[in-house]
Structure 1
Amino acid sequence: MFVTASIVCYRNDRKILLDAINSFLNSKTDYPIFLYLVDNSPTDELKSIINHPNVEYVFNPSNPGFGAAHNIAIKKAIEKNSIYHLVLNPDAYFDEDVLNKLTDYLKSNPDIGNIMPKVLYPDGEIQRLCKLLPTPYDWIGRRFNPFKGMVEKRNEFFELRFTGYNKIMDVPYLSGCFMFLKLEALREVGFFDEKIFMYGEETDLCRRLINGGYRTVYYPEVHIYHHFEKGSHKSWRLTKIGMESAMYYFNKWGWLFDKERKVINNRTLKALGK
């Protein structure tokens, strides 16, 4: 059995990418590890970034999207008899004991399908990456709302800021920057929805895991670092991709009328004392 990981690349900064790669390769676990580097770049310049027996480079210039590229690696991981698989952003890095502690917790809690540690900026500031299932306002309205006070008020609940981010909790929408997944769960509920090019694919997968009877858990006993560029806020092209992903997601799950979203979010808030 293995613990595997995949990093999807696209013209990445080599130093930052190497930090992510080495974080995984230097991890201490009870299982052998193996990394899939799936490169969606138009050229294979990143192929030479590392030469390691536990790394497979996959050149994928058709660039089918974030989730579809990770699916390539997930299928390979299942063939390798991997038990847990890490979906890791190329701008995230962590200490050698993180995966071992997460693996121990997953062993003790077999009903967890996805777990995410505390996520910090490189300067140590916390990133608010635990969320409720989104409404159209959360994904579209907030982006263009000029009234910051209104946005902050909503974020107190949507991003679960009131929790303090200091306790283990079930969260229905966890960031895709670090998804430590139980592959048995993915075999049951399916992989990333490849109709989502980028942004929102992790939300869709978390939701399907919950529907399949698995928990999606925030575990702040360990932490990682994430540069978090917020590309969709800096590029109109990425904003457009984000809007298209949001429209697909809401067409799939429901826009204003989504009874299941209401049930899951209310259950989450009740468990957290709200």
Structure 2
Amino acid sequence: MRIPVILLNHNSAIDCRKCVSFLQRQKGVDIEIVVVDNCSSKNDLNELQTLCKEELCTLIENKENHGYNAGNNIGLRYAVKKGYKYALIANPDMEFPEPDYIARVISKMEVDKNIVVCGTDIIDAKGRHQNPLDYVSFWSELFWPIDMIRYKLSGKPLATTLNYTNSRYCPIVSGCCLFVRMSFIKQIGFFDENVFLYCEEPILAHQVKTAGMKLYYMAEAQAVHRHIKFQKGNPYGRMVLLCNSRDYKNKYHSDFNRLQVTLLLISSRLRKWFIKLKL
């Protein structure tokens, strides 16, 4: 079976080259590496063009950056046209040390037709596990100052990662690396492009739940997320973007009632005001 691997690049050509080198070592499955460039700088795009020519990757150049979901949809629509049954979506900073990683996940999805989104064990550079994930509760979103105080005191953000030792159906999987069944992607009309960044995972999870299908966490396969956090651009603008994505998710892709959504919207506006004062 031939599987497309969609890498969404934005000024990350160096990471892309490393990720492609891992993907080229995959065994037991035929892959097509599809690199979607989300309007990178000229220099980064030139490096990407060289990489794709050398490694025989398919390069799709996007002239406008409309966000994470919109960029990945370009790759997914390409996969639909090619008639693919599954697709792997991965960030360029992912590494795949296990040579049968893709083959094993696809084998599981072939057996269980209820699985439309599948994630595996993912560790960061420090060995911390990033899958599977849980929903952020209504109370946690509403009383965000409490979590902020906890973070200041402990230095650790509120954990939403669940037990990673057992394979099972789960609420959410990380968007940095996930497998999708293309028939389901077509059914929901591709990823929701109304968010530019943030909250893509809970939105997709709610779409799966609404469709009566399943997300699955596979503990037996592991990938590495070499993500390095750093601040990009205006921090206030990024936090406002996060709040706006949460507002959209809470209104259109959650089980919250109208009163809860209204209260969360008020809380979100207070958060924006507070962040602006801090910055």
Matched residue of 1:33: which SS? strand
Pairing partner for 1:101 from 104, 111, 129: 104
For residues 88 and 100 of structure 2, the distance between their equivalents in structure 1, rounded to whole angstroms, comes to 14
What are the equivalent positions in structure 2 for 1:30-69 lying under 5 Å apart? 30=29, 32-40=30-38, 41-43=40-42, 44-45=45-46, 46-52=48-54, 54-69=56-71
Greater Cα shift, 182-191 or 123-132? 123-132
Partner of 1:135: 138
Q: Equivalent residue of 2:60, what SS?
A: strand
What CA RMSD, in Å, does the superposition of the two structures yield over aligned residues? 3.1
Paired residue type of 1:121: D
Q: TM-score, normalised by structure 1?
A: 0.81
Deviation larger for 43-52 or 130-139: 130-139
> Cα distance, 1:122 vs. partner?
2.6
Q: Give the drift of 1:111.
A: 0.8
Count of aligned pairs: 254
Measure how far apart 1:86 and its partner are: 0.7
Q: 1:195-206 counterparts in 2 under 5 A?
A: 195-206=194-205
Q: What is the rounded CA distance, in whole Å, between the counterparts of 1:255 and 1:145 in structure 2?
A: 24
Would the aligned equivalents of 1:9 and 1:38 in 2 still touch at CA under 8 Å? Answer: yes
Aligned amino acid, residue 32 of structure 2: F
Q: 1:111 to 1:120 in 2, by over 3 A?
A: same
Distance 1:178-1:138 versus aligned 2 partners, 3 A rule: farther
Alignment of 1:149-164 (within 5 A): 155=158, 158-160=160-162, 163=163
Question: Which residue identity does 1:29 align to in structure 2?
Answer: G
- CA contact under 8 A between 1:173 and 1:206: conserved in structure 2? yes
In structure 1, the residue matched to 2:253 is 253
| Letter of the 2:59 counterpart | Y
Query: Could you tell which deviates more after superposition, 140-149 or 45-54?
Result: 140-149
Deviations 1:54-95 (A, max 9, x none): 511111131011110110110110111111101101111113
Q: How many angstroms apart in 2 are the aligned matches of 1:17 and 1:110?
A: 31
Cross-structure match for 1:9: 9
Q: In structure 2, how many angstroms separate the alpha carbons of the residues matched to 1:17 and 1:117? A: 20
1:91 matched to 2:93? The reply is yes
Give the residue type in structure 2 aligned to 1:132: Y
Distance 2:142 2:196 in 1: 16
Distance (Å, rounded) in 2 between the aligned partners of 1:252 and 1:136: 18
**CA distance in 2: counterparts of 1:211 and 1:21, whole angstroms:** 34
> How many angstroms does 1:153 deviate by?
11
- How far off its partner does 1:119 sit? 0.5
Relative to structure 2, which stretch is displaced further, 121-130 or 209-218?
121-130
Structure 1 residues 153 and 93: alpha-carbon distance in aligned structure 2, compared to 1, 3 A threshold: closer
Change (3 A) 1:48 1:69: same
Q: Which runs of 5+ in 2 are unaligned?
A: 260-279
Q: Alpha carbons of 1:233 and 1:127: their partners in 2 closer, same or farther (altered >3 Å)?
A: farther
TM-score by length of 2: 0.79
- Distance, in Å, in 1 between the alignment partners of 2:175 and 2:222 is 15
The change in CA–CA distance for 1:184 and 1:54 in structure 2 (over 3 A counts) is farther
Give the Å deviation of 1:240: 2.7
Amino acid paired to 1:50:
C
Unaligned runs of 5+ in 1: 260-274
- Residue 33 of structure 2 aligns to a residue whose secondary structure is strand
What's the counterpart of residue 207 of structure 1? 206
Partners of 2:127 and 2:192 in 1: how far apart?
A: 33
- When residues 101 and 221 of structure 1 are mapped into structure 2, their CA distance, relative to the original with a 3 A threshold, is same
Aligned residue identity for 1:102: V
Letter in 1 for 2:203: D
Q: Percent identity?
A: 20
Larger displacement relative to structure 2 (108-117 or 181-190): 181-190
Q: Report what 1:225 is aligned to.
A: 224
On the 8 A contact 1:113/1:182 being kept in 2, the answer is yes
Distance in 2 separating the partners of 1:226 and 1:145:
25
